[in-house]
Chain A
Amino acid sequence: EPEVTQTPSHQVTQMGQEVILRCVPISNHLYFYWYRQILGQKVEFLVSFYNNEISEKSEIFDDQFSVERPDGSNFTLKIRSTKLEDSAMYFCAIMTGTYEQYFGPGTRLTVT
């Protein structure tokens, strides 16, 4: 099973601050995803990233969000000006060549 790590495991930030969540897939993959899960709710798709560009995004992924793969390994999600409703668990995922998606352990974001 492909391994995906995420940092930090927990991030506390004040409303209006910028946060960057990081995902590091251990092996080479082409497809990356960010999902979020508000506490007690279902997992929701945010954005998919392929070949260094966004391939699909949900309506949640507005102008406050951005993704990039700055150094060919880390895959980051940036929230420019956090809101209280951004508090959630954020999961990075990779997709294998057989279309299986494996998730990282998640980053719990708390916006105060």
Chain B
Amino acid sequence: AQKVTQAQTEISVVEKEDVTLDCVYETRDTTYYLFWYKQPPSGELVFLIRRNSFDEQNEISGRYSWNFQKSTSSFNFTITASQVVDSAVYFCALSGWKTGANNLFFGTGTRLTVIP
């Protein structure tokens, strides 16, 4: 069974602080995909990243970085120098590799509030 756990329900940081959002997953699949989505107050789901399970290289995109560790089944997301516009709910998600089994299993989300 696929499961994603985001233990941090809510996090508040002051602008310009760094913040890390945790994601732990469970799957029996040997290959799979991991995702992060942002849901701002307007409600849409914004794609941030997709990661293959066989690629453990960390990724950086501007102020965003992701740390994938297969040994601990974690895929953590760090925002550097946070800004007020980063305030949103962030969801981690997992999908299978096999075509036709790619539906996303979401975690419960972490609500990030960046205080000016």
Q: Which residues does A use to contact B, with CB under 8 Å?
A: 1, 31, 33, 35, 41-45, 48, 50, 55-56, 58, 89, 91, 93, 95, 98-106, 108
- A105 and B106 contact, Cβ closer than 8 Å, known pairs A50-B100, A99-B33, A99-B95: no
B16 close to chain A: CB less than 8 A: no
Contact with A along B91-115 (1 / 0, CB 8 A): 1010100001111111111000000
Whether the Cβ atoms of A95 and B91 lie closer than 8 Å is no
Whether the Cβ atoms of B47 and A45 lie closer than 8 Å is no
Q: Which residues does B use to contact A, with CB under 8 Å?
A: 33, 35, 37, 43-47, 50, 91, 93, 95, 100-109
- Residues from chain B with a CB closer than 8 A to the CB of A1 are 47
- Residues from chain A with a CB closer than 8 A to the CB of B109 are 42
- A101 and B91 contact, Cβ closer than 8 Å, known pairs A55-B100, A95-B102: no
Q: How far is the CB of A31 from chain B (nearest CB, A)?
A: 7
Q: How far is the CB of B97 from chain A (nearest CB, A)?
A: 8
A-B pairs with beta carbons under 8 A, tally? 58
Whether the Cβ atoms of B47 and A99 lie closer than 8 Å is no
Whether the Cβ atoms of B104 and A56 lie closer than 8 Å is no
A103 to B106, CA, bound (A): 14
Q: How far is the CB of A97 from chain B (nearest CB, A)?
A: 11
A95 to B33, CA, bound (A): 13
CB-CB nearest in chain B for A89: B43
Q: How far is the CB of B110 from chain A (nearest CB, A)?
A: 11
- Residues from chain A with a CB closer than 8 A to the CB of B95 are 99, 101
Offer 8 A-B interface pairs, CB within 8 angstroms, sorted by A.
A41-B108, A42-B109, A43-B106, A48-B100, A56-B100, A99-B33, A99-B102, A101-B35
- Residues from chain A with a CB closer than 8 A to the CB of B101 are 56
Whether the Cβ atoms of B102 and A105 lie closer than 8 Å is no
CB-CB nearest in chain B for A55: B100
Whether the Cβ atoms of B100 and A43 lie closer than 8 Å is no
